[in-house]
Structure 1
Amino acid sequence: MGTWGIGPFENDMAADFAYTLDEAALGEREDLVRATLARTIQTQDYLESPEGADTVAAAALIAAQCPGGEPIRTSFAPDEALPAFADALRPLAAKALDRVVAKKSELAELWDETPDGPKWRHSISRLRSVLAP
């Protein structure tokens, strides 16, 4: 996994997710974000790292549109315009983030093995607090 920071788009998988969003028609982008979150929530077994990274990126895009959300300022985020996400995506994103940091999550396990694990978990917690205040 190519990761260079704790930010939601500071890894190869999230950058690929951004590219997928850029390649999709504007009207399909919200559906892609929703499908990413739903897949994560529905995963009963082990959640693989790529799915977790995509989920964090999707949640960050939604949080950026919320009051108190931080804008995404990186060249690895989507370049194309994003729709105004439906408010109903906020609790879905929060629930998906809960799954990413839970047991049987490869992304959480990988971060927990690093010195930056607590910082990463704190960044996820901040995202979640914006999504579900």
Structure 2
Amino acid sequence: MGTWGAGPFDSDGAGDLVASIRHGDFTFAGVEPYFEDDEYVEADGGQAALALVELTLAVHGAPHAPVLEEETVVPAFAAHLTPERTTWLLEQSDRVLSDPETSELYELWAETGEDEWLATARASVERLRALTAG
């Protein structure tokens, strides 16, 4: 049974991402292949991008989801984060949230008619953009 909800960690892809951080297996090189196609981002890539946005916000001290409450997850992820990675992450998140024609995750949510997902995801991306603009 898969996990599916409007929150950034309410997907199997996000759960797998957090597990990889928890177990010390995470690398940005491991998620980069999701974004190699310049024209389309599959759902797994979208799930990863939005979870990474929330993780990056948590590194910057923003309130975060209970799944990140474990003491090791946020510091372990922070060790991989650089300003360049944050910029890259914002670029990929913009792709995920721009159009159902170029993002499978956006397309799947558009089919449901649920607007909560898009509003929540865009708000998180904008919070991260504001935190890193200075």
* TM-score category of the 2 structures, normalised to the smaller one: 0.7 to 0.9
Matches within 5 A, 1:36-55: 36=31, 38-55=32-49
For normalisation by structure 2, the TM-score amounts to 0.74
**How much has 1:10 moved relative to structure 2?**
0.6
Equivalent residue number for residue 93 of structure 2: 97
User: Unmatched 5+ residue regions in structure 2?
Assistant: none
> Larger relative CO (CA 8 A, sep 6+): 1 or 2?
1
Equivalent residue number for residue 66 of structure 2: 73
User: Would the aligned equivalents of 2:39 and 2:102 in 1 still touch at CA under 8 Å?
Assistant: yes
Q: Structure 1 or 2: larger helix share?
A: 2
Change (3 A) 1:66 1:4: same
**How much has 1:7 moved relative to structure 2?**
1.0
For normalisation by structure 1, the TM-score amounts to 0.75
Equivalent residue number for residue 23 of structure 2: 23
Aligned-pair Cα RMSD in Å: 2.8
Counting matched residue pairs gives 125
Q: 2:84 aligns with which of 82, 88, 104?
A: 88
Q: 2:129 aligns with which of 120, 127, 132?
A: 132
